[in-house]
Structures are given as C-alpha cells and as structure tokens.
A and B are shown apart, each in its own frame.
Chain A
Amino acid sequence: GNSVTQMEGPVTLSEEAFLTINCTYTATGYPSLFWYVQYPGEGLQLLLKATKADDKGSIKGFEATYRKETTSFHLEKGSVQVSDSAVYFCALRERGQNFVFGPGTRLSVLP
C-alpha cells in the first residue's frame, strides 16, 4: 500500500537557519503531494501542494518540489523564524483513494 516517510524529529534550529524536512513516499500510481502544518494549539492546515512531477509548491518562503525519480517531496525554507515552530506533516493522495499522512516532524526554532 501507499506510505509516507518523514525524517524523525524534533528538529531544533536557530532563527534564520536553513530548514530541510525530508519526505519520501511509496505509491502505486501518481499521487498528489501535500505538506500540512499544525501550529501549537491549532488544527492542521494546508501549507503547500503539488500534483505532478517537477511541480514546485511554495508559500511564505517554504518550498517543496515533487521529485518522481526519487519519490520525494522535501520541505525547505531558506531562513526560519520562531513563528515557524510547529509540526509538519507530509501527505499523499491518489485519485479515488484515501489520504496517507506521514508521522509528522516537530520543528522548534530558537531566537
């Protein structure tokens, strides 16, 4: 079946450091890929998404590129802020099938 693997956390960075959270997936077809974020005390919300190979999702400095050849969708940000501290979930969905979420990676950014 389909699955999503994320790097284990927690990840602790200083403000303005470069962030990478690795995500790889296993799927039988051609899934859409997502990053969701859960800020402390809040619900999950979509951060970015990509639907096909080489698509790049980006928002507020976060980026992730759909790499079919490596079945990856790594999340990156060039300069993190304290306000980026949250749990990040990588997820996939194939048409007509269920969403599959990774276990989440907790990011803590220190001032």
Chain B
Amino acid sequence: GAGVSQSPSNKVTEKGKDVELRCDPISGHTALYWYRQSLGQGLEFLIYFQGNSAPDKSGLPSDRFSAERTGGSVSTLTIQRTQQEDSAVYLCASSSATGELYEQYFGPGTRLTVT
C-alpha cells in the first residue's frame, strides 16, 4: 500500500518568507509526527498529533512554527518568517495507535533551504 508521502521534496526559500510543508500519512493511521533533522544531527521532535486529542507541541522551537492536521489525515507544517537556521530536512511519520508494536513509518522528508 501507499506509504507516507511529503511534499515538496525540496524547497528553497528566501529568509523572511513563509513556507508550508505537507504530509499525507498512511491511511487509517491515527498518530502523526513531525521531526526536524539538521545536517549530521539526530531527530528533533517537533509536534505530535494523536486522533482527536490536542496535539503535543512541546517540540516546536519557536512561535514561528505551527502545524495543523485536517480531518485526522493530512498535516501541514508552517514556518513563518523563515530563518537560515530553519534549514533542515523535515520528516513526517505516522503510526497506528492500535498496531501491535506502534512502529512509525517515515516519509521521504522535505529538504528546506533558507537563503
């Protein structure tokens, strides 16, 4: 079946512009995660959606970052007034809360470059 998809795959933007990154999770997965991976670094948790519960936003680095999940499916991560330090690969993952081992399935990521 279809996996997690993300768009765009690459995004180059000028400092100060807003960007939107999209994630389509695996159908039926109730949990959705956003992570950031800077060059040579590990995964930095950003935000977590689980069903209809309030999202866990504890990882968002500043109020320039926000995310929505519409209809319990597609999610959009928005970065306002981008800065050069926002350059990274943004990864989305989904998980079935009812799955036996709750593993995450990752999308290919969106590489964001802020110039």
Contact = CB atoms under 8 A, between A and B. Distances in A.
Interface of A: 32, 34, 36, 42-46, 49, 51, 89, 93, 95-96, 98-104
Contacts of B33: 98-99
A101 B91 contact: no
Is chain B's binding surface mostly helix, strand, loop or mixed?
strand
Contact of B103 (A34, A43, A89): A34
27 contacts: A32-B101, A34-B103, A43-B106, A43-B108, A43-B109, A44-B91, A44-B93, A44-B106, A45-B106, A46-B103, A46-B105, A49-B101, A49-B103, A51-B100, A89-B42, A93-B102, A98-B33, A98-B56, A99-B33, A99-B45, A99-B93, A99-B104, A100-B45, A101-B42, A101-B45, A103-B42, A104-B43
A36 B105 CA distance: 10
Interface of B: 33, 35, 41-43, 45, 48, 50, 56, 91, 93, 95, 97, 100-109
B43 A101 contact: yes
Nearest to A106: B40
Contacts of B107: 43
Contacts of A99: 33, 45, 93, 95, 104
Given A49-B101, A51-B101, A98 B45 contact: yes
A103 B63 CA distance: 25
A36 B101 CA distance: 14
A36 B91 CA distance: 14
Contacts of B97: 96
